[in-house]
Each structure stands twice: as C-alpha cells, then as structure tokens.
Amino acid sequence: MRDAAELIRAGRLVAFPTETVYGLGANAFDATAVARIFAAKGRPRESPLIVHVDSIAMARGLVTEWPDAAERLAGCYWPGPLTLVLPKQPSIPDIVTAGLPTVGLRMPSHPMALALIRAAGVPIAAPSANPFTQLSPTTAEHVRKSLGSAVDLVLDGGTSSVGIESTVLSLAGPHPVLLRPGVIPLPEMEALIGPIRSADIPVGGHAAPGMHPRHYRPRTPLLLLAAGDPAPAGRGAWLGIGHEMPADPAAYAAALYAALHRLDEQGLDWIAVERPPDTPEWAGVLDRLIRAASPR
C-alpha cells in the first residue's frame, strides 16, 4: 500500500479493487497522470472519469455546491456504489471531467480502495481498469490480462462484491437526473430526494462514464434473447436466469462479468444471455447487457 500511494503521488497508474469493479487510478489533481489513464485504456477524452474520495469532507472540498440531496444520498449510500455528479472546483483538471463543469464523486466501500486514497492523501480519478468498451474487471487477474504493463502496480483485493459499475446520479441541475443505473433501485433513491429524471444523452460527448452505446463487451458476440428463443448456429453458451446465473438481481450482478470473462476465453461463436426483467431491481444489469449486445 505504501508503494501504491507513492506511485499515485508520483503521477503513475495503480489498479485497485473497489466493490463495483477494479479501477485504474491516478492522482485526480495531476492532469498529466490522468492523461496516462486515457492512453492506457484507449479511452476518448470526451468520456469523463469518476473521482474517488475517502470521506464526505473530501468530496465537499472538490465541489462548489453540496445540496441537501447530496447529503441525504451520501449519508445513506456512502461508502458504496453511488456516484454523485456536482459542480466542480477549479482544482479538478478539465481532462478529468471531459471539459464539463461538473465532476462525478464516489466513496468506495472496499477497504483497500479507501486505504489507498488515505495513504496517497489525494482524491483518485479512476475508470474501470480495462480497455475502453470492453468487459470490466472484477479480479486482479482480469486487469493483468487486459492492461498488462500499461499499469505500474495492481493491488489484489479479491473479487469485487457488487460486480457492475456504480449508479451515477447528477445533482448539478434543477432536477436530479439518473445518468447510469446500477444496483441501487431508483425508487429507493426517490424515497430520499423525490422524483429523479432519466438522462438525455448528449450528442458528441458523455455526461457520465459508461454512456457509450457500445460498452461492457466481451470479444465474443453477445446476444440478448428471451427465454425460449432458438439458439443461433455454431458453438456457444447460454446464460439463463435461475439456471446458469442467479435469479436474485444483486447476486446476478456480482456474477455477470466473471461469467462473461470465463466464456470469452473459450473460443465460442456466441454467448446468449437471457434478457432480465425490465424492473428497477434489474435496471443496472439490463443496461450493461443492452450495451454489451449493441452492434454499434
């Protein structure tokens, strides 16, 4: 951990575990270091990064506004899989936010992530530790296989317990806006802060990470099918709900990327996934599968 913190302060890249997926981290105050993240991932500069903090106090120091809704949501879900988008302070370089006046902030719950932020003494900008649009990593081995020597150090904290990326909620405008669903059901958040709108995706840029229409993809073509649909020709695998995959949405999310990584190494012609229900509890999983199956 001491070595990892020194690397972060020196402007290098450290992959680290969070409860959602593994992140590829750099000092959020160091624009040159953050540029290395984009280069390592092959990520376009118009896709903003999430900044990871170790406390609400650190978060409040990075924004110009901290509304009551942020206090309620952070009090309920931090540390945890919720990213809040708020107007940023000038101390956050524009490269972190893709030139937007807002920044996404999250306090992860994984103890190694929190320990790294505290040891480094700076907030850490970190997208998922994988090539852009490909499967997110939920183990250190996934990071090593996909990024290799592009990372200066990989901290191994076991398997990510949540398994898909965080919910992203913007509080920067007059109304809360859901930019990316995750494992937190929308009605839960609305019970705390009132109605939440769905995002209008901007043309030519992304208001939050993970909004690219083609994302979270294995190399093997992924098909999103209804139960009972015929399988295509060729050699493939089927992931059914309640059979190959858990019937509980949280357990399903935790298992999804690991299952896709495993199948992606088998040289299959296709991976067919049963389409989950279109309900608040399944929204994050369904979002990831729709993007992974997108032909664009």
Instruction: Specify the pLDDT at position 294.
Output: 73
Which residues, in sequence order, are bridge partners of residue 103? 86
Do 226 and 181 fall within a single domain? no
> What is the structure's pLDDT at 206?
55
Shared-domain flag, residues 249 and 135:
no
Looking at the predicted structure, is the pLDDT value of residue 96 above 90?
yes
Q: Are residues 226 and 194 in the same domain?
A: no
Predicted local confidence at residue 228, as pLDDT: 85
On whether residue 206 sits in a domain, the answer given is no
On whether residue 101 sits in a domain, the answer given is yes
146 and 257 together in one domain: no
Q: Which domain holds residue 116?
A: 2-198
**Rounded to two decimals, what is the model's pTM?**
0.94
Q: Are residues 194 and 227 in the same domain?
A: no
Judgement on whether residues 187 and 44 belong to the same structural domain of the protein: yes
Decide: helix, strand or coil at residue 192.
Answer: helix
pLDDT at 208 over 90: no
Amino acid at 20: T
DSSP reduced 3-state for 174: coil
Cα(129)–Cα(147) distance, rounded to whole angstroms? Answer: 7
Looking at the structure, tell me whether residues 257 and 112 fall in a common domain: no
Q: What is the CATH number of the domain that holds 172?
A: 3.90.870.10
Is the pLDDT at 204 greater than 80? The verdict is: no
Which tens digits make up the pLDDT trace of 102-161? 999 999 999 999 999 999 999 999 999 999 989 999 999 999 999 999 999 999 999 999
Is 31 inside a domain boundary? yes
- The reply to whether 217 falls in a domain is no
User: Which tops the pLDDT comparison, 12 or 205?
Assistant: 12
123 vs 202, residue with greater confidence: 123
pLDDT the model gives residue 209:
57
Q: What pLDDT score was predicted for residue 203?
A: 41
The pLDDT value given to residue 216: 80
Q: Both 184 and 263 in a single domain? A: no
Q: Is residue 207 part of a domain?
A: no
* 25 plus 161 within the same structural domain: yes
Per-residue pLDDT, averaged over 18-33, amounts to 98
Query: Residue 208 falls within a domain, yes or no?
Result: no
Among 198, 232, 265, the domain boundary falls at 198
Q: To the nearest whole percent, how much of the chain has pLDDT over 70?
A: 94
What's the chain's Rg over C-alpha atoms? Answer: 18
Look at residue 231 in the predicted model and tell me its pLDDT: 84
Cα distances (Å, whole numbers) of residue 280 to 73, 156, 185, 216, 260 = 18, 32, 5, 20, 23
**Are 72 and 27 members of one domain?**
yes
Q: Are residues 272 and 140 in the same domain?
A: no
Task: For residue 204, tell me if it sits in a domain.
Answer: no
Question: Do residues 189 and 243 both lie within one domain?
Answer: no
Q: What's the structural domain count of the chain?
A: 2
